[in-house]
Structure formats: C-alpha cells, structure tokens
C-alpha cells in the first residue's frame, strides 16, 4: 500500500485521512422552552463543534430523541406539556443501544431538586445561570465518548 501512496503523490497522513471515514460531530439535543436559552446553548455548542437539535417541550424532546438518537441531551426541568423529569423517565424506556447521557438544566440549586433529577435518571445537573466552563466540563465528561452514568 505504501508504494501506491507514493505513486499517487500522497503522503502517509493524506492517505490516512482520505481513506478513513470521518465520524460526525456529537449530536446534542437541547430540550428547553425558552427561546433565548436555546439560542445561547446552540451558539455555545456549535462554536465547540457539536451538532444541535432543539425541542421546545418534553413531549417533543422524547419524540425527537427516539428519532435522532442524540449523543447527549441537555434537558430543562420546567417545560410545558411534559416536564424534564417525566421526559427523562420516558427517554430511559426507549430502546437505545446505549444509555444517552441526560444533563439537567435548572434554576433550582437545592438538594431536593438534584435528588429528583437523579431519581428520574439524569446523569449530571447544571444550575442556571451557569458558567461556560461548567458547560464545557460537562460536555467533556459526557459527550467525549463515555456513555455511562456519573455522580450527580
């Protein structure tokens, strides 16, 4: 194969990148009823190379998750039609080939809210307003290939 690479005028690195399939960027589902928060999250995620899908309520989030099979879900807790807790419970019943990390976004910082989130099946919890560094840490922890459960 090296002879073919040299005869075609490609370096070993160029050969590797032209024959190896490129995997798509991780897909993040943002489930949030406030348009301005969805816009901010989309901007932050796309600026870091993620693909983004959006849902305005819990029912749409569950239906979209089943259809697109995201790599990560950022789930607002308080949404119309189906709150984030119930939406996460439903997502946990979907026949995914792996456990999709669900990260709760909430203005509630108290332990009772975190406990309810854990019980519903969330993998991490981000209190709004949040620092961009906090979001980046969560993305590295959960969207970097790890599909297991993490301590909340």
Instruction: Give me the pLDDT at residue 19, please.
Output: 53
Helix axes 132-143, 35-47, angle to 10 degrees: 60
pLDDT 10s per residue in the chain (152 long)? 444 434 444 444 444 444 555 678 999 999 999 999 999 999 999 999 999 999 999 999 999 999 999 999 999 999 999 999 999 999 999 887 778 999 999 999 999 999 999 999 999 999 999 999 999 999 999 986 333 333 33
Spatial separation of the C-alpha atoms in residues 58 and 90, rounded to whole Å? 10
Domain residue limits, the chain:
24-143
- Position 99 scores a pLDDT of 85
- The two structure tokens encoding residue 19: 């024959």
Q: What's the predicted TM-score (pTM) here? A: 0.80
| Residue of 29, 82, 85 whose CA lies nearest to 58 | 82
CATH code, residues 24-143: 3.40.50.2300
d(CA 61, CA 32): 9
Please count the other Cβ atoms lying within 10 Å of the Cβ belonging to residue 45: 22
């Amino acid at each position: 194969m090296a002879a073919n690479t040299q005869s075609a005028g490609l370096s070993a690195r160029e050969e590797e990148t032209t024959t190896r399939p490129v995997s798509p960027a991780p897909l993040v589902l943002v489930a949030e009823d406030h348009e301005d928060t969805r816009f901010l999250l989309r901007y932050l995620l796309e600026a870091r190379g993620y693909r983004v899908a959006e849902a305005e309520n819990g029912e749409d989030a569950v239906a979209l998750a089943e259809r697109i099979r995201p790599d990560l879900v950022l789930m607002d807790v308080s949404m119309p039609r189906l709150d984030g807790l119930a939406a996460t419970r439903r997502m946990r019943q979907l026949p995914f080939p792996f456990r999709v990390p669900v990260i709760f976004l909430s203005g509630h910082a108290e332990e009772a809210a975190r406990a309810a989130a854990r019980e519903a099946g969330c993998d991490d919890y981000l209190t709004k307003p949040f620092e961009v560094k906090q979001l980046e840490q969560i993305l590295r922890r959960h969207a970097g290939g790890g599909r297991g459960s993490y301590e909340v």
